[in-house]
Amino acid sequence: MIQLIRLVRLCLQVIGIVAIVVGFGLLFNRRVINEFTSGNWTDTDEQVVPSPHGLHFAKTFHRTSGPDESFVVALSTGNPNRSDEYFQIVEIRDVSRGQASVAWDGTGRLLVNYPSTAKVAEAYAITHDVRVVLNPPLPSDQPSALER
């Protein structure tokens, strides 16, 4: 009878240890892994707009990450390496598909039109010999977004 009690006690201890290990594993998965991967987004190509002289291409994307939506503009770099072919120059947040657009104004000016309710997350003023012009322009109290 004593051996049966010891065996049951040993089995309960093993079950308890397994439950603790599984619990910590689930907690680790939920807290660490999910937070690490929560920054994933999905880019959907919208359009590729060639510059008038054909040296640059502006590529636009509609980016979604959960409930967040953005309009992203990337500029061709001339680098044939696929991972470096385009360089992100503008990101406008809180904008739905079709609310923002790009157009070339001459060979070296790229106009980015977006609703005034949207937020400019990133914008380069001049890059790869292309001047980026935002419409509407940023308020004067937010110059840092253009000084990158």
Query: What's phi and psi for 41, nearest 5 deg?
Result: -135, 170
Q: Provide the pLDDT for residue 85.
A: 85
Is the pLDDT at 84 greater than 50, yes or no? yes
> Where does the pLDDT of residue 146 fall: very low under 50, low under 70, confident under 90, or very high at 90 and above?
very low
- Sign of the torsion angle spanned by Cα atoms 104, 106, 107, 111: negative
> Where does the pLDDT of residue 147 fall: very low under 50, low under 70, confident under 90, or very high at 90 and above?
very low
Q: What is the rounded CA–CA span in Å between residue 10 and residue 139?
A: 70
Q: Rounded mean pLDDT of 94-122?
A: 93
Is the pLDDT at 115 greater than 90, yes or no? yes
Q: Which tokens is 51 given?
A: 């510059």
Is the pLDDT at 145 greater than 50, yes or no? no
Q: Is the pTM of this model over 0.75?
A: no
Residue spans per domain, the chain:
1-38, 42-145
Q: How, if at all, do strands 109-113 and 130-135 pair? A: parallel
Q: Rounded mean pLDDT of 120-142?
A: 84
pLDDT of 31-43, one tens digit each? Answer: 665 555 545 788 8
Q: Provide the pLDDT for residue 33.
A: 58
Q: How, if at all, do strands 119-123 and 109-113 pair? A: unpaired
Q: What is the rounded CA–CA span in Å between residue 64 and residue 80?
A: 27
Mean pLDDT over each residue of the chain, to the nearest integer: 84
